[in-house]
């Protein structure tokens, strides 16, 4: 079943949903990148919850004027209008009152969502409302997705992607350094509104598939995942788009391959799985890499301390130090230095003295700044400089290396 | 916060002679909440000189610069660039913000930061070509950071971060350089590198204005000094304005007489 789903063999509806979800994932991942980089990820939560009253009001208006209350474009326009109002409320509250942004988000999110739920209850009691199925917008409902719905998602998503592509430079610049952007004549407030407006567009487009409660995950998880793999802004948004697209495709496929499995939540779980892979296995920023780095550093510290202790004839009590020295063939099990160990220890002690000279002399200021107790002095100074320092220290010149 | 004084509405021409001073500020008042941080300040920057803006913490040094550039909206007042409106002359200004004002864990490389200085040239869609890249590398070379071009900015020391910011400003090829505390928290080697770049700019006929904290180096680094503590205290060449009396007025009791004595002040 799963293979059939992934190769789009499960029938018309499943294929539409899978392709739609994939495309939505790409758009959400790319757009969410800038929200994440501007540290405004949570604003998307307020935006998405603020769509609900708009959906309900649009339904009421369309029914009142005798139309089909479930017309998708009408519902999406309504949701966009109320999400836009919610967005303006958040940015107005943060700018002109003493409320912090998180408080403003919390207030807008809950009030709009509550209002939306009240309207949904009213719709339930309307004669035309019983079969409305508007609850589907809460968690997404893909069962009855039509060709026209897919086209709406495609066009909305494409327009969003095109805008992101066109404005990626000012958006990255504002996200990194808003003051510099403003000094260059950019209208920072307007760019911020653009970033959030694009997230709003994705939210509205994604209502049908993922629903308003979980769309946040599609905007936030992919860029956070992408950040683990790269240190470049353009690559973050590229990888984020890929992560979003794969999550949408695989998630929709999984949910289509089993009966009664919701699409939106599965998509979110798939993207979470990709996040976990990145969290643990990403080079540099991943947890595993960090742990490895820590152990390697710890070993270097212990080796250094052990060598200095050997050189000064002090006993070594630390078990890890002893083990490391033994394994490197520098000490015997009873803690006595081997031939090689004595040579390395003497060198370590010598380097310590050399560093002392370097750190006391203004002329070596640049090199002294690099001192951390571990760095090999040869990586900082030239052989000539070391010879000169040795000359100053005096004593045996031929220290074994 | 953004209320403007009715008396200052409109675009009345600046009354005094500003001629074509690189930066002329008139009647600038900025306040956060009800407390003015900068009050009715005039400043006339001299072309081709290095000017230090000096004053105690919270005296409005950085705010004055930000207001002059329109980063912060002033309550009243205006700034003119080379005798014309800020809007028409922005391309002649390079601004270096405080190093601490950005998140250095941002996913970007050193070279990308410098390329931001070419934003005006690149616009929204133009591709980054080898000549843009070469230009950015040349700017990194001037601050001695070419080896770091491909590094993520989070791996830099404070001094290196400051030099990258300066390289970005150099890429803008401006006539007027405004720097907010370029020497704050940098190592001595970086301080030397930065001051030699800035002096190089001045020798090319550019104008440099820097918010400066370290009173002991004003004499050595700068030609002119602007002293501020919410209001303007003094403005002029270091020789005539950087005097014990003016320092007393600027810092009040915050500088003990002993500290003033240690400064290599001009006789005044």
Q: Which residue has the higher pLDDT, B25 or A144?
A: B25
Q: Quick check: B267 pLDDT over 80?
A: no
Mean pLDDT of all residues in chain B? 88
**Residue ranges per structural domain of chain B:** 6-10+18-256
* pLDDT for the residue B40: 93
Residues of chain A with pLDDT under 50: 400-401
Which residues are CB-contacts of B172 (< 8 A; sequence separation ≥ 6)?
B93, B94, B117, B118, B120
Domain with CATH 1.10.3470.10 in chain A: 2-264
Chain A residues in contact with B112 by the CB 8 A cut-off are 232-233
Note the CATH number of domain B6-10+18-256. Answer: 3.40.50.300
Chain B: residue whose CA lies nearest to A186: B71
Span of A130-134, B16-20, B143-147, B197-201 with lowest mean pLDDT: B16-20
CATH for the A2-264 domain, from 3.20.20.140, 1.10.3470.10, 2.60.120.380, 1.20.58.410: 1.10.3470.10
- Which residues of B lie inside 8 Å of A (Cβ-Cβ)? 1, 66, 69-71, 87, 90, 93, 95, 97, 101-103, 106-109, 112-113, 116, 119-120, 122-125, 152, 154, 168, 178, 187-189
Residue of B103, B108, B168 lying closest to A232 (CB–CB): B108
Chain B residues in contact with A177 by the CB 8 A cut-off are 97, 101-102, 116
Chain B residues in contact with A233 by the CB 8 A cut-off are 106-108, 112
* DSSP 8-state secondary structure symbol assigned to residue B125: T
Distance, in Å, from the CA atom of A242 to the CA atom of A239, rounded to the nearest integer, reads 5
User: pLDDT band for position B165 (50/70/90)?
Assistant: very high
Q: Which residue has the higher pLDDT, B209 or A63?
A: B209
Distance, in Å, from the CA atom of B175 to the CA atom of B140, rounded to the nearest integer, reads 19
* pLDDT for the residue A396: 57
* pLDDT for the residue B261: 67
Digit-coded pLDDT (tens) for B189-204? 889 999 999 999 999 9
Residue A39 CB neighbour total at 10 angstroms: 11
Q: Quick check: B133 pLDDT over 70?
A: yes
Long-range contacts of range A234-238, CB-CB < 8 Å, 24 or more positions apart? A234/A168, A235/B107, A236/A33, A236/A37, A236/B107, A237/A29, A237/A30, A237/A33, A237/A34, A237/A164, A237/A168, A238/A30
* pLDDT for the residue A23: 93
Q: Quick check: B15 pLDDT over 50?
A: no
* pLDDT for the residue A322: 87
* pLDDT for the residue B260: 67
* pLDDT for the residue B259: 67
Q: Look at B108 and A177 and tell me if their CB atoms are within 8 Å.
A: no
Span of A7-11, B34-38, B86-90 with lowest mean pLDDT: A7-11
């Amino acid at each position: 079943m799963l293979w059939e789903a992934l190769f789009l063999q499960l029938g018309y509806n499943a294929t539409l949903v899978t392709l739609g979800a994939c495309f939505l994932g790409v758009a959400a991942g790319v757009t969410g990148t800038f929200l994440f980089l501007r540290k405004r990820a949570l604003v998307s939560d307020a935006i998405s919850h603020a769509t609900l009253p708009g959906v309900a009001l649009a339904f009421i208006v369309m029914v009142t004027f005798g139309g089909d209350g479930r017309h998708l474009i009408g519902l999406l326009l309504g949701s966009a209008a109320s999400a836009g109002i919610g967005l303006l409320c958040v940015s107005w509250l943060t700018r002109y009152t003493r409320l912090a942004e998180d408080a403003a988000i919390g207030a807008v999110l809950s009030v709009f969502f509550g209002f939306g739920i009240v309207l949904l209850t009213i719709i339930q009691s309307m004669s035309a409302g019983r079969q409305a199925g508007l609850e589907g917008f809460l968690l997404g409902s893909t069962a009855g997705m039509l060709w026209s719905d897919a086209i709406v998602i495609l066009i909305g998503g494409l327009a969003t992607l095109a805008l992101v592509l066109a404005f990626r430079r000012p958006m990255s610049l504002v996200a990194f350094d808003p003051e510099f952007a403003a000094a260059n004549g950019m209208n920072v407030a307007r760019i911020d509104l653009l970033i959030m407006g694009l997230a709003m567009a994705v939210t509205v487009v994604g209502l049908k598939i993922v629903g308003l409660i979980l769309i946040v995950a599609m905007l936030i998880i992919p860029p956070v995942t992408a950040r683990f793999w790269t240190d470049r802004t353009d690559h973050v948004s590229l990888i984020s788009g890929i992560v979003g697209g794969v999550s949408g495709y695989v998630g929709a496929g999984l949910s289509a391959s089993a009966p009664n499995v919701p699409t939106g939540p599965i998509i979110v779980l798939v993207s979470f799985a990709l996040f976990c892979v990145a969290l643990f296995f990403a080079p540099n920023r991943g947890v595993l890499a960090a742990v490895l780095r820590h152990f390697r550093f710890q070993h270097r510290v212990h080796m250094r301390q052990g060598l200095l202790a050997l050189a000064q004839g002090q006993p070594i009590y630390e078990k890890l130090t002893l083990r490391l020295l033994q394994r490197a063939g520098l000490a015997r099990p009873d803690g006595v230095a081997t031939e090689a160990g004595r040579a390395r220890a003497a060198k370590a002690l010598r380097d310590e003295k050399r560093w002392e000279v370097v750190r006391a002399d203004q002329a070596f200021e640049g090199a002294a700044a690099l001192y951390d107790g571990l760095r090999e002095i040869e990586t900082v100074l030239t052989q000539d400089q070391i010879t000169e320092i040795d000359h100053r220290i005096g004593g045996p010149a031929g220290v074994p290396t | 916060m953004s209320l403007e004084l009715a008396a200052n509405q409109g675009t009345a021409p600046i009354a005094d002679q500003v001629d074509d001073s690189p930066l002329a500020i008139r009647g600038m008042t900025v306040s956060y909440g009800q407390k003015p941080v900068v009050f009715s300040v005039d400043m006339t920057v001299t072309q081709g000189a290095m000017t230090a803006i000096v004053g105690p913490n919270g005296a409005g040094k950085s705010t004055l610069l930000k207001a002059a550039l329109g980063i912060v909206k002033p309550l009243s007042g205006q700034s003119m660039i080379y005798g014309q409106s800020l809007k028409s002359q922005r391309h002649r200004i390079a601004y270096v913000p405080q190093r601490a004002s950005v998140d250095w864990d941002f996913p970007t490389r050193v070279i990308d930061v410098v390329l931001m200085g070419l934003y005006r040239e690149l616009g929204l869609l133009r591709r980054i070509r080898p000549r843009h890249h070469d230009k950015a590398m040349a700017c990194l070379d001037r601050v001695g950071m070419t080896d770091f071009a491909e590094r993520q900015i989070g791996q830099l020391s404070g001094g290196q971060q400051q030099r990258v910011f300066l390289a970005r400003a150099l890429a803008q090829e401006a006539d007027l350089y405004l720097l907010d505390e370029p020497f704050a928290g940098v190592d001595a080697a970086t301080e030397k590198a930065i001051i030699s770049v800035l002096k190089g700019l001045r020798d090319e006929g550019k104008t440099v204005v820097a918010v400066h904290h370290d009173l002991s180096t004003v004499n050595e680094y700068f030609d002119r000094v602007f002293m501020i503590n919410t209001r303007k205290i003094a403005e002029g060449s270091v020789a005539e304005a950087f005097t014990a009396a003016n320092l007393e007025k600027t810092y009040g009791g915050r500088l003990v007489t002993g500290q003033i004595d240690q400064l290599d002040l001009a006789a005044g």
